[in-house]
Chain A
């Protein structure tokens, strides 16, 4: 019953995930469902960042909407300008009566390279500034959570308030093209899906490397005892800053990819409520487990679509219940159940006989193992 080492190797998990995303999903799902999956994968990219910042670093960021929005708006601004054509104003500005000049802060987004870089670098820069200010002064825990939430709320409010240049409550809608490709064409929609799937795998692989590096160990140490790490001579503020900035970059990328997948970005997608919804997927799946956070985010988004299609009111109750059950009674998420089951299995006595000569694992205590064998078999 032991799983061969090859199958539990991280590369094998990565490979099978790639196989699922690139071969199984496009073959099995309709265009509509594949489009939905693309949207879920964007949320999963945000969850990867949350897994690093919250699960590993203990930074509960309830304001990922801010970075998601920065990335999304950076992308959408460029696509709107590209749709309008050179020298023209985006359609909504004309609608609100603007004539003549483009606002100065829209101007750089005419360049595709600048816009692409901005989708990731702008959120990271903003996170670096906020993080430096906040972490250096040792604002932490719940204070940090509330502050980050307030920042997302303020950003959404600001966008709503400047309707003439940001599209206000409606946001930037009706995006037609994606770097010269027509988004109404199903083939191009599939391409967008593949781009998103590749991005998720890349971000997940990068964050996994980070988690398993020396830095990753330090981050967990800061989460568990910040003072002790400080006394050991490290600067916890810098350690936290890196996690926060990486999480912001992931959220920005996700926001940017969300725009071609869904065709819209608006304040309603980045305020307080969606910012908390980013967290729930990671919490249900297991905040400290990368795989758990990704699968949790996808599963929660899927449940949201399915349940709110059938019974709109029930989803809110269910979501509330998810928060309560996942955090009050299962803080490690579903991943902790899997881990416990695996530990129980590896601790189970019949292991010893299944792997003859497998080395160190098989060595201890063969006598009690055989004595307890019947239990192990029936269980």
Chain B
């Protein structure tokens, strides 16, 4: 029994990491329709920010706390810059955006290699997060790493914050307006260019926050973003564009599925099975789990 529980909690924590990464994408890809392959490198930027702060400050706890807003700002600035320099010229050509941002991601990776060196680096986790919590005691205990709980909390907090911003603030209202009908928003006096850039800043900033979280569970390296980014895109595709709810549910479902399948087969077979499952799911619901209903034919 605890094996199943333990495995599903592993799944939930995989899902939490996926969710943190996919959250930024659900804004830039899901809401604005921009496929930013450099999103993974913004995660990397967030992770290296944590590394640099820890080198400078020494104290693991303080640097981690400080890294959250700083990484948000660093990755967000990179994202806004990318939007301003390249992406805004390509809004009508989504496939070209994909390849252009892939080129940017290659350059950012090499930059990281030149600055920090090709080998992976590591940060120390603060002491508070190194231990385990025992959820079920007894002969067959179920323990969960504190860092995993922290990531879960962070992911949920980020979802809540993003949902509140979208629902309640003027910025959120403008973003929703632009997503639902760009032309109408434009003629109603909303500066869509500015909304695009701000949304990109927030989405990319969330990638930076995800990078901070990833330093707790793995090494930091120039290619850390590339591998995980495809999974995150799939989460957004399956969840349905333009809906946070879909992204949240899909991230956890895919995480648990991955963990359970890994337990009964191997890591690589589990990956392949999850992918086959996704293709099958898209047969059933090509638009994803939740969709924004429009009358558009495209």
Point out residues on A near B: beta carbons under 8 Å. 58, 60, 62, 130, 133-134, 137-139, 141-143, 145-147, 149-151, 153-154, 157-158, 160-162, 227, 272-273, 276, 279-280, 283, 313, 316-317, 319-324, 327-328, 331
User: How many angstroms from the CA of A220 to the CA of B96 in the assembled complex?
Assistant: 17
Q: B104 contacts A320, CB within 8 Å?
A: yes
Shortest distance in angstroms between A304's beta carbon and chain B's nearest beta carbon? Answer: 12
Distance between Cα atoms of A297 and B40 in the complex (Å): 27
Q: With A142-B95, A161-B267, A323-B106 known to touch, is A328 a contact of B234 (CB < 8 Å)?
A: no
Number of interface residues of B (CB under 8 A): 40
Residues of A within 8 A of B283 (CB): 133, 137
Contact in complex: B234, A146 (CB < 8 Å): yes
| Bound: A158/B167 CA distance, A | 42
- B106-127 contact mask (Cβ, 8 Å, vs A): 1 or 0: 1101100110000000000000
Interface residues of B in 84-120 (CB under 8 A from A): 86, 89-90, 93-96, 98-100, 102-107, 109-110, 113-114
Q: Which of B98, B275, B282 contacts A60 (CB 8 A)?
A: B98
Q: Which residue of A lies closest to B110 (CB)?
A: A316
> Is A139 within 8 A of B286, CB to CB?
yes
**Given A157-B268, A322-B103; 19 other pairs, CB 8 A cutoff:** A58-B95, A133-B283, A143-B237, A150-B230, A150-B234, A154-B271, A157-B272, A158-B271, A272-B226, A273-B226, A276-B99, A317-B107, A320-B104, A320-B106, A320-B110, A321-B103, A323-B104, A324-B104, A328-B100
Assuming the contacts A139-B286, A143-B237, A154-B271, asked whether A313 and B113 have C-beta atoms less than 8 A apart, the reply is yes
Q: How far is the CA of A279 from the CA of B95 in the complex (A)?
A: 12
Provide the B263-298 mask, 1 if CB < 8 A to any CB of A, else 0: 000111101100100110011001000000000011
Q: Smallest CB–CB gap between B56 and chain A, Å?
A: 26
Is B9 close to A, CB under 8 A? no
Residues of A within 8 A of B286 (CB): 137-139
B96 to A133, Cβ gap below 8 A?
Answer: no
- Residues facing A in B142-182 (CB within 8 A) are none
Q: How far is the CB of A163 from chain B (nearest CB, A)?
A: 10
Q: Number of residue pairs across A and B with beta carbons under 8 Å?
A: 113
Query: A331–B268 contact, CB under 8 A?
Result: no
Using CB atoms and an 8 Å cutoff, list the residues of chain B in contact with chain A.
Answer: 35, 86, 89-90, 93-96, 98-100, 102-107, 109-110, 113-114, 226, 230, 233-234, 237, 266-269, 271-272, 275, 278-279, 282-283, 286, 297-298
A-B contact pairs, 22 of them (CB 8 A): A62-B98, A139-B282, A142-B94, A146-B233, A147-B237, A147-B279, A153-B230, A158-B268, A160-B268, A162-B268, A227-B298, A313-B114, A316-B107, A316-B109, A317-B106, A319-B103, A320-B107, A320-B110, A321-B107, A323-B106, A324-B86, A328-B90
Inter-chain contact B106/A319, CB cutoff 8 Å: yes
How many angstroms from the CA of A352 to the CA of B59 in the assembled complex? 80
Q: Are A161 and B269 in contact (CB under 8 A)?
A: yes
Determine the residue in chain B with the shortest Cβ distance to A276.
Answer: B102
CB nearest neighbor in A for B237: A143
Kindly state the separation between the CA atoms of A145 and B234 in the bound complex, as whole angstroms: 11
Q: Which residues of B contact A62 (CB under 8 A)?
A: 98
Contact between chains at B90 and A150 (CB < 8 Å)? no
A279 & B99 in contact (Cβ 8 Å cutoff): yes
CA of A147 to CA of B278 in the docked complex: distance in angstroms?
A: 9
Contact status of A323 and B95, CB under 8 A, knowing A146-B230, A154-B271, A316-B109? no
Q: How many Å lie between the Cα of A183 and that of B234 in the bound state?
A: 43
Rounded to whole angstroms, the CA-CA distance of A297 and B275 in the bound complex is 30
CA distance A145 to B86 in the complex (A): 20
Question: Considering residues B86, B98, B226, which has the most beta carbons from chain A within 10 angstroms of its beta carbon?
Answer: B98
**How far apart are A158's CB and chain B's nearest CB, in angstroms?**
5
For the complex formed, measure the closest distance between the CB of B194 and the CB atoms of chain A, giving whole angstroms: 21
> B35 to A158, Cβ gap below 8 A?
no
Contact (Cβ within 8 A) A328 B279: no
Q: Report the separation of the CA atoms of residues A307 and B105 in the bound assembly, to the nearest whole angstrom.
A: 19
Q: Are B266's CB and A161's CB within 8 A? A: yes
Please tell me if the beta carbons of B275 and A327 are within 8 angstroms of each other in the complex.
no
Contact yes or no, B268 A324, CB < 8 A? no
Tell me if B110 and A142 are in contact (CB < 8 A).
Answer: no
B279 touches A146 (CB 8 A): no
* A154 contacts B107, C-beta separation under 8 Å: no
A328 and B267 within 8 A (CB): no
8 closest residue pairs by CB, A with B: A323-B103, A161-B268, A320-B107, A320-B106, A316-B110, A320-B103, A137-B286, A324-B103
* In contact, A142 and B98 (Cβ under 8 angstroms): yes
Q: Is the CB of B279 within 8 A of A133?
A: yes
B35 and A328 contact, CB distance less than 8 A: no
| Complex contact B279–A134 (CB within 8 A) | yes
A154 contact from B105, B237, B272, Cβ within 8 A: B272
Q: Is the CB of B279 within 8 A of A157?
A: no
> Chain A residues near B272 (CB, 8 Å)?
154, 157-158
User: A141–B230 contact, CB under 8 A?
Assistant: no
Q: Closest approach, in angstroms, between the C-beta of A51 and any C-beta of chain B?
A: 15
For the complex, what is the distance from the CA of A153 to the CA of B100, rounded to whole Å? 20
Known: A227-B297, A324-B86, A327-B99. A150 touches B107 (CB 8 A): no
A130 CB contacts on chain B under 8 angstroms: 279
| A residues in contact with B233, CB < 8 Å | 146
Within the complex, what minimum Cβ distance (angstroms) separates A225 from chain B? 10
Nearest chain A CB to B37's CB is how many angstroms away?
A: 9
Whether A327 lies near B96 (C-beta < 8 A) is: yes
Instruction: Please give me the residue from chain A that is nearest to B267 by CB atom.
Output: A161
Whole-angstrom distance from the CB of A333 to the nearest CB of chain B?
A: 12
Question: Cα distance A149–B271 when bound, in Å?
Answer: 14
